Structure 1
Amino acid sequence: MTNQSTKKQDLALEDFPFQTYDKVRYADTDRQGHVNNAIFATFLESGRVEFLYDPQHPLAAEEAAFVIVNLNVNLLAEIKWPGRVEIGTGVTKVGNSSLSLLQGLFQNGRCVATAETVIVQMNEQTRKSQPLSNTARAFLIQHQLL
């Protein structure tokens, strides 16, 4: 295990500037009795969507959408049913038309997965990248991981 992955595994939910949760459903489990690995991506999506598409802080420009161009998930431990998963989200980089997120999934205070995601704002008409607004950039900078 590298120092970088050890550091990410040592993250606490409180380290993330944005936090939410999702309920673990019985249907999320697989034949081994734990949450199926594909559902980890669904939990991460819940955190990303709540962060990026908050009606109080719309980040995407009109006629633009956020698209994932890279997603790397590191599975660290099982998620069990019943229960809930805490989701931490923080910005690691703000580019011209892109942003990078680090997310953590936690159950019972333990980090069970981390994910690094690169997202680009895409113009829905041209299907090409579109620069982030100054408002979006300021919001993202406020939510950077320290």
Structure 2
Amino acid sequence: MFSEIVTPRFSDTDALGHINNTMIPVWFEGARNPVFKLFTPEMNLKAWPLILAKIDVNFEAQIYYGKDIEVRTYISRIGGSSFDVYQELWQENNRVSFGTAVMVHFDYRSQSSAKIPDDIKKQLSRHNVEL
């Protein structure tokens, strides 16, 4: 599991005083950086090997300004050329949101998916979670 603490900003709130729902996918994406680094340690955008195929976000409870959030990131599925990143948001020991991103190892030159190298699969599997 990868873990990251996010401190909500005032600008992340909505008219009701809660964290705006649009922030959750943004926080999830930012917390995927350790996964991205398994594929591109230098985070070189000119050699980027991944695309996002799908995201699902589920909201379980209100999220509040002024209280830190923990983003927990796991790998829930590893296929031949794609994998699922499962993530949860926790605030004050309560899971408030969860979601999954389907990532595809991608060759931009051929514009097609590419096999995930075995060494990267091994690294991904260290963060596996059973759902």
Shorter-chain TM-score tier: 0.7 to 0.9
Map of 1:110 onto structure 2? 94
Paired residue for 2:80? 96
Find the counterpart in structure 2 of residue 74 from structure 1. 58
The aligned counterpart of 2:39 is 59
Alpha-carbon offset, residue 53 of structure 1? 2.7
Which ranges of structure 2 fall in alignment gaps of 5 or more residues? none
In the superposition, the TM-score normalised over structure 1's length comes to 0.79
Is the 1:29–1:36 contact (alpha carbons within 8 Å) kept by the matching residues of 2?
A: yes
1:60 is displaced (CA, Å) by 4.4
1:9-63 Cα shifts (integer Å, max 9, x gaps): xxxxxxxx221121100000011100100001111112112x2233xxx324993
Residue pairs, 1:1-146, within 5 angstroms: 17-49=1-33, 51-54=34-37, 58-60=38-40, 63-146=47-130
* Number of matched pairs: 126
Q: Give the Å deviation of 1:64.
A: 4.1
How far does residue 132 in structure 1 lie from its aligned partner after superposition?
Answer: 0.9
Report how far residue 140 of structure 1 moved. Answer: 0.6
Q: Is the 8 A contact 1:65 1:121 kept in 2?
A: yes
SS state at 2:95 partner: strand
Which consecutive unaligned segments of at least 5 residues does structure 1 have? 1-16
What's the C-alpha RMSD, in Å, of the aligned pairs?
A: 1.7
Q: Give the aligned residue type for 2:72.
A: G
CA distance in 2, matches of 1:46, 1:83: 18
Code of the aligned partner of 1:73: V
**In structure 2, distance between residues paired with 1:145 and 1:70:** 19
**TM-score, length-normalised on structure 2?**
0.88
Q: CA deviation at 1:83?
A: 2.2
Q: CA deviation at 1:78?
A: 1.1
